[in-house]
Amino acid sequence: MARDALVVALLLGAGCVPTLTDNPPRDVALSLPKAFTAGEAEAPATASLATRTWASFFDDPTLQRLIAEALEHNQELSLSLQELVIANAEVGARRGEYLPRLEAGVDTGLEKVGAFSSQGFSDRATGVPEHLGRFGFGLRASWEVDVWGRLRNAASAAQLRAEASAEARHFLVTQLVAELARSYYELLALDAQLEVLERNVKTQTDALEVVKLEKQAARVSELAVQRFEAEVANTRSRRFALEQQRVQTENRVNFLLGRFPQPVPRDARGLVSPLPVAADTGVPAALLEHRPDVRRAMKGLEAAKLDVAVARAGFFPALSVNAAVGYDAFNLTHLVSTPESLVYNLAGNLVAPLLNRAAIEAQYRSANARQLQAVVTWERTVLQAFTDVVNQLAQLDNLSKTNALKARQVATLDEAVSVSNVLFQSARADYMEVLLTRRDALEAQLELIETQKRLQVAKVDLYQALGGGWRDAPTAR
């Protein structure tokens, strides 16, 4: 009866789990809108751009080759691969904890007990040698019976974290692909702007010669010549700032490719080549499937929930089984004598915490807090993903309108430059009108190129915001 009462006390005392009323757990409480556009009832069920591989999204063969090389040699991706290997190894370790353990051992030693101890007095009376050897070998087994699922939940949590590490690597791939594409289009824009500057330097130099002839004919003063010379020098000086930007952008591309600075091949047509249309955004709920950071946050949330279950199981009794079999003797000549030297044992242990459970309770409350953190992290990640897409859609719309107006501005100013030249030669316009018109035309050309680059980059950013760019990336190297 006493033994039964002790077992009941163990179960009742250990089963008391503290409440979490001061920091109650909760599930996610965020629901995505049905459309990205405000006022739209529901987005059309179109396939998202995120389902397209980067090789099909970017049709520039040069850019495709650069991305493939970056995915092969980028150092940060290599580091993330090792993180994934570590996470998978942790899964194996956790799974091994709920499997039975079997060990083989060999023991040897020398023992002397005190002469005036009970064991020493008995040994002396029976003629046992004062220095007694000990030799043995055998098998030992132990197994913690996972009654409450603590070990299996811990293994499942480790598996989810390994999957989260894989999603983190996918997210890194999307960032790498997008960053490389942005740098590539920036290079193309810098090339085009430098080409515009070179053409303007030549045109302004020709205009300077005309002004010098006009001065010889006493139609303009030396001031006009000096203003034209200053404008040519200013345009030439702007070239070096762009050259520096081009060097730095090329080196950024090389760094992403994991190589030392060298010329980066590129195709100038890529700046104006059409990328896939921005309307194929799919429904907002598709972000949960396509965005790697959202998927990673969900895996982390599921793992955190299992951690709470693992911590909760710490309040309940743990059942373990231990067994051993082998041979044990004080003399090597008798070591394998059977059954005289044969030894074995089998025991079961039921252990439960009764007093001083502060550490277990602290782990439980900590696990609950981490689970709440995972909930908020998931909600914040989803909110950020949705906001990214909405921002990029607005960016694309505004840049498309800006690009059309800039193109019209450039065409108008090109005509104005021709008109100003004719008027200046016929003495119906002064040199300042010619200078300002040329300056405005140059700025408009440079701004048009910048807008074209930003338009391409905005499409890349939308592709990344939707979760595209990781599906055809290699998973191991």
Of the given ranges (149-153, 222-226, 293-297, 391-395), which has the lowest mean pLDDT?
222-226
Does position 39 have pLDDT exceeding 70, yes or no? Answer: no
Does position 343 have pLDDT exceeding 50, yes or no? Answer: yes
pLDDT-derived band of residue 278, with 50, 70 and 90 as boundaries? low
Does position 1 have pLDDT exceeding 60, yes or no? Answer: no
In CATH, which of 2.60.120.340, 2.20.200.10, 1.10.3720.10, 3.40.50.300 is domain 103-145+319-351?
A: 2.20.200.10
pLDDT of 397: 92
pLDDT of 91: 93
Of the given ranges (85-99, 106-120, 201-215, 303-317), which has the lowest mean pLDDT?
201-215
Does position 340 have pLDDT exceeding 80, yes or no? Answer: yes
pLDDT of 4: 54
Does position 260 have pLDDT exceeding 90, yes or no? Answer: yes
pTM: 0.87
Query: Per-residue pLDDT averaged across 247-274, rounded?
Result: 94
Does position 5 have pLDDT exceeding 60, yes or no? Answer: no
Query: Per-residue pLDDT averaged across 98-116, rounded?
Result: 89
Superfamily of 22-98+147-317+359-465 according to CATH: Outer membrane efflux proteins (OEP) (1.20.1600.10)
| pLDDT cut 90: percent of the chain above it | 61
Q: pLDDT higher for 128 or 464?
A: 464
Distances (CA, A) of 439 to 280, 414, 445: 40, 11, 10
Domain residue spans of the chain:
22-98+147-317+359-465, 103-145+319-351
Does position 106 have pLDDT exceeding 70, yes or no? Answer: yes
- Give the model confidence (pLDDT) of 411-470 as tens digits: 999 999 888 888 877 777 777 888 888 889 999 999 999 999 999 999 999 999 999 999
Question: Residue 321: which residues within 8 A CB-CB, separation 6 or more?
Answer: 142, 143, 145, 346, 347, 348, 349
Of the given ranges (38-52, 91-105, 405-419), which has the lowest mean pLDDT?
38-52
Helix axes 150-216, 61-73, angle to 10 degrees: 140
pLDDT of 367: 96
Residue with tokens 């002064």: 430
pLDDT-derived band of residue 477, with 50, 70 and 90 as boundaries? very low
